[in-house]
Amino acid sequence: MVQIAASTFEGMFIRALKVNGPIVGRLKAVGFNPERMEPAYAVEVWRQSLNVAAMEYYPTLSPADAEFQLGARMVRGYLGTIVGKVIEAALPFLSADALCMRLPRFFSSGIVGDVRPPEVTKVGPGHYQVTLFGDQGVPWFTAGAVDAVLRINKISPKVRVLEVKPTSFTVDIAWDAQAQRTK
């Protein structure tokens, strides 16, 4: 069974959002106690916890837009965790292409259990698609996180969810490769 690692919850709720007050009770109601974390959580607890956060922090956005914003916001929080600091140390040394090719490794740092590895496809210069399989996450959150990671390295991407199926989702990642070469 695939689960979401505690480090992912820590990055999102403890470090990025710094949850306190009434939201803590709402998170406990869906199975996540930020005051007493478990080693890993069911994917459904992750999704419900993100829904709680979306309603709290982005109540005027659509669910997809709120999820995207939470993904972007989570990156900074996650990079404050022990696992995230290891990833952050490598980021300045990676090109946008190398970052995209390493996305499966980054995604696996937040997953506990066996899952089919994501597939990364280079569509063209400055254009990738990554497909995640099984029950391992939330599409727009993933897109927001990818967007934020690339922006840390001074890339201005266009990241969108291309396709959502019952057993997978695909995120499209593009940037002006020519402009990146001149920087």
Residue 71's pLDDT is what?
95
In the predicted model, what is the mean pLDDT of residues 29-50?
A: 95
Q: What are phi and psi of 76, to 5 degrees?
A: -60, -45
Domain ranges of the chain: 3-78, 96-181
Residue 179's pLDDT is what?
62
User: In angstroms, what CA-CA distances link 1 with 40, 42, 112?
Assistant: 11, 8, 8
pLDDT digits (tens, 9 = 90+) for 123-177: 999 999 999 987 767 899 999 999 999 998 889 999 999 999 988 999 999 999 8
Pick the CATH number of 96-181 from 3.40.50.20, 1.10.3720.10, 3.40.190.10, 3.90.1520.10: 3.90.1520.10
Residue % of the chain over a pLDDT of 90: 67
pLDDT-derived band of residue 111, with 50, 70 and 90 as boundaries?
A: confident
Residue 67's pLDDT is what?
96
182 pLDDT above the threshold of 70: no
Q: Provide the whole-model pTM.
A: 0.90
83 pLDDT above the threshold of 80: no
Q: Is residue 91 packed enough to be buried (19+ CB in 10 Å), middle (13-18) or exposed (0-12)?
A: middle
Residue 183's pLDDT is what?
47
